[in-house]
Amino acid sequence: MTRYNTALFFAVLFVLLIVQNACQSQPYPGYTLYTSSPTRTNLIDLSNNVVKFWNHTRSGGYSVYLLPGGDLMRPALSTNSTLNGGGAAGIVQKYSWSGTLLWEYTYSSNSIRSHHDICPMPNGNVLLIAWEVKTAAQAVAAGLNHSAVIWPDHIVEIQPSGSNGGTIVWQWHFWDHLIQDYDATKANYGVVGNHPELLDINVGSSGSGDWTHINGISYNARLDQIVISSHELDEVYVIDHSTTTAQAAGHTGGRYGKGGDILYRWGRPSNYRASGSQVFNVVHSSVWVPDSVPGGGHIMAFNNREGTNASHVVEIVPPEDSAGFYSLTPGTAYGPASPIWTYAASGFYSMHLGGCQRLPNGNTMLAESTDGKLWEVNSAGTVVWNYNPGGEVVRVLRYGYDYPGLSALVSKLNLTAVIEGFYDAGANNMRMSDTLTVFLRNSSSPYAIVDSAKAVLNRSTLSGLFSFGKASTGNYYFAVRHRNSVETWSPSAVTMTIGSTTGFNMTSSASQSYGSNLVSVDNSPARYAIYSGDVNQDATVDAADLAIIDNDAFNFVSGYVGSDLSGDNTVDASDASFADNNAFNFVGRIRP
């Protein structure tokens, strides 16, 4: 019995691994956004065809972002400043989907200028990185070990208004968080090694001008923290955004109690006199990995490794507790000791610039900027998509078909459905939400698959929104798959229209499926459900499915497993009863 059970377990595990690997071996479905020239932004499909472009009134586009409403936001060049360092901008622009300039805000003068990256915020505001001029006298008074004009970085959060207005609602300045051990008679004097939360003004500032050269900025809404990357200092820094502007200028207050001091830093421990290896040698594009994708909460960055002809992209796991605080043993370097994931390949090199993005399927988008090459690689480092538009391409972003900002390019299916085993008639909902895959198929034989989409079927609303980016406007059958249920087809072809949403209720009648292949699960209200029990996904509920369930119940398997037909995270007799009943009634897929 044990040997039989073990064989079944490994067979199921093998199938799951194949599915996972197949997912990562394919490009993540969606459209790719990048700056194709200083005055043009392109959106391309997975065949590298331009499906949408924007022309711009000003040069710029170090980075570019598609907003959830379909608008585009980018930095652009101003003409009113003498601060002309690398990545200079001074303006941020927002364009409509149709290409109309909606908003243009200037943050530029002879004493300040925004530069490099921007970060659109969930609240509609935008974060800008900017220089501010400090005179030689100010720099020396702050403890600089030579006389020079320097441009330390600061961050401003702009709340847009009108066509060119904006209010600074929050700001943070490196200048407020300095330390130096050069001159005890000057400001900021202290023991550098005892204050990793402060920046040594004499690290990386042997020259003048653009001292820190921050080039990447990313916001984590869950933590209310910002991560930035420094070209000159070879580090990434995390700061608290929950502070007021007054708190951000000090050393106390905010969610983490440290005001605007550095919460976490990584890449070059010697900057704060700690032992440990330097990892970054010029770093760009520091980004939080979104919580909803593999590696959520981690930090990624492009490590140029200038002068080595071999760049890396690294992913680190900050030593963060559940509340967002970072651990550090005094006198040591911040962890981790090494990245959890690194991408490197023969010939992969960008001497400066560079971009990275983690995708929902676990793949990673890369911009090998100075060679103008764009890549998508899986976790094993295998290239699954690439494009070489030429020139310098600083950043690249892939937006999935389900991204709200792409609504004009996709057709959507708002599907109402119920999974038989998950349904709780007493509560009129399902015990858990779960992922469905919907396949669009041609309306005539052999009914070839044209497109597919995944979405979560919500346990309360009993609905999910599926976005299709490949299918043209037309009539299609759709087939619904769930991990332990019978594949169920629509009763006839339905019309899908690009830019529109088609609603379909599969719960109101058995006839809402091909061959009336639904089971009644509730009389008040009347509800019909997709049959449960096809654990091995061979389109039939039979003894093979029962054997898997029996095996898992015998071994007290629990959790998110395919043999849990009832959605209660336990495999037991209740799951077997669904499969046994449906096998007895020869339930299986019915299709044209």
DSSP, residue by residue, 138-186: HHHHTT-SS---B--EEEEEEEEETTTEEEEEEEEEGGGSEEBSS-TTS
Query: What's the pLDDT at 370?
Result: 86
- Residue 23, both tokens: 């997912």
Of 537, 512, 278, nearest in space to 415 by CA: 512
Residues 6+ apart with CB under 8 A from 6: none
Residue that is written with structure tokens 């904006």 in the block: 166
CATH superfamily placement of domain 11-406: YVTN repeat-like/Quinoprotein amine dehydrogenase (2.130.10.10)
User: What's the rounded Cα separation, in Å, for the pair 107 and 5?
Assistant: 67
Query: What's the pLDDT at 390?
Result: 84
Q: Which CATH architecture has domain 410-584?
A: Sandwich (2.60)
Per-residue pLDDT of the chain (592 residues; tens, 9 = 90+): 333 344 444 444 444 444 445 556 899 999 999 999 999 999 999 999 999 999 999 999 999 999 999 999 999 999 989 999 999 999 999 999 999 999 999 999 999 999 999 999 999 999 999 999 999 999 999 999 999 999 999 999 999 999 999 999 999 999 999 999 999 999 999 999 999 999 999 998 677 889 999 999 999 999 999 999 999 999 999 999 999 999 999 999 999 999 999 999 999 999 999 999 999 999 999 999 999 999 999 999 999 999 899 999 999 999 999 899 999 999 899 999 999 999 999 999 998 899 999 999 999 999 998 888 999 999 999 999 999 998 889 999 999 999 999 999 999 999 999 999 999 999 999 999 999 999 999 999 999 999 999 999 999 999 999 999 999 999 999 999 999 999 999 999 999 999 999 999 999 999 999 999 999 999 999 999 999 999 999 999 999 999 999 999 999 999 999 999 999 999 999 999 999 999 999 999 999 9
E-strand stretches of 370-473: 373-377, 383-387, 397-400, 411-416, 423-424, 429-430, 434-442, 449-457, 463-468
Four-point Cα dihedral 183, 186, 188, 192, nearest 10: 0
Q: Are the C-beta atoms of residues 142 and 201 closer than 8 Å to each other?
A: yes
Of 123, 57, 68, 131, nearest in space to 92 by CA: 57
Query: What's the pLDDT at 6?
Result: 46
Q: Are the C-beta atoms of residues 446 and 537 closer than 8 Å to each other?
A: no
Query: What's the pLDDT at 298?
Result: 97
Q: What is the 3-state secondary structure (H, E, C) of 443-506?
A: CCCCCCEEEEEEEEECCCCCEEEEEECCCCCEEEEEEEEECCECCEECCCCEEECCCCEEEEEC
Query: What's the pLDDT at 55?
Result: 97
Of 546, 538, 545, 549, nearest in space to 588 by CA: 538
Query: What's the pLDDT at 22?
Result: 53
User: What's the rounded Cα separation, in Å, for the pair 206 and 38?
Assistant: 32
Provide the sign of the torsion angle of the four alpha carbons 511, 512, 514, 517, taken in this order. Answer: negative
- CA 337-339-341 angle, to 5 degrees, is 155
Listed by start position, the domains of the chain span 11-406, 410-584
| 413 Cα distance to chain centroid | 24
Query: What's the pLDDT at 13?
Result: 45
Read off the amino acid at residue 421.
G
User: What's the rounded Cα separation, in Å, for the pair 287 and 358?
Assistant: 9
Kindly report the pTM of this predicted structure: 0.89
User: What's the rounded Cα separation, in Å, for the pair 136 and 143?
Assistant: 11
